[in-house]
Amino acid sequence: MNTQKTIAGILFDKDGTLLDYAKSWVPVNYELARIAANGDEALARTLLVAGGMDPDSGYVTPDSLLAAGNTVEIATGMVKAGSPFTIEALREKLDYLFANSTALAVPVTDLGAFFAGLHAKGYRLGVASSDNERSIRETAKRFGFDGYLHYVAGYDSGFGTKPEPGMVLGFCAATGLEPHQVAVVGDNNHDLHMGRNAGAGLTVAVLTGTGSPQSLSAASDHCIADITHLETVLG
């Protein structure tokens, strides 16, 4: 039996994978906490800590709520930690904040050129994010890779949430690939577990997000510094 894996499609996480997490999201997390605290500065600090971010250093704990949660999960956690809003009201405010934060996003590399290169080699390409679909599409347009994507899934696209396998299976349905032909690339364990739960051929961890080699080693086949090293592990 030929055990060599032939990867024909790549499904990327967005935040911490295509976008540099610290540069793109730490400022947004401060704003998120201000909004969730309705302007109460002491409460905002409490909410950041509850979400997994140190309010002084900006350090975000791997796989914490702010590192890995989708909007509903973050809103739920903030309300549990003392935010005065209802979960639904806060979810709406946070989705609005996130969609408008694409203007602040800092990419890991020239994403237009990066996706063009993979597209030219024949790979099917997609993005699966815990952010909302609108934010993903705006990011893809802003950085010039929307034309190379065969598939986009946010937490609100109907494929379920990470680490469920649905976003990978949706990518397979959209491209005609089998899960073993797909590489899943992400900065959190929920990305890697989503890949493993779907039977993906390869899981690749990157260190441009909130994870560390220690936190990501168990669920990844490869751990690389950033996506520019991806082709060295695709075979």
Chain contacts with Mg ion (rule: CB under 5 A): 13, 15-16, 187-188, 209
How far apart (Å, rounded) are the C-alpha atoms in residues 90 and 80?
12
In sign, the C-alpha dihedral spanning 225, 228, 232, 235 is: positive
Closer residue to Mg ion, CB minimum distance, 62 or 112: 62
Closer residue to Mg ion, CB minimum distance, 46 or 130: 130
Provide, rounded to whole angstroms, the least separation between the CB of residue 156 and Mg ion: 16
Provide, rounded to whole angstroms, the least separation between the CB of residue 173 and Mg ion: 23
Provide, rounded to whole angstroms, the least separation between the CB of residue 208 and Mg ion: 9
Closer residue to Mg ion, CB minimum distance, 16 or 201: 16
Provide, rounded to whole angstroms, the least separation between the CB of residue 198 and Mg ion: 17
End-to-end Cα, the chain, rounded Å? 18
**Residue number closest to Mg ion, CB atom:** 16
* H-state helical runs in the chain: 21-36, 41-51, 65-68, 71-80, 87-100, 111-120, 133-142, 166-175, 189-198, 213-216, 231-234
Closer residue to Mg ion, CB minimum distance, 68 or 75: 68
- CB of 118 within 8 A of CB of 109? no
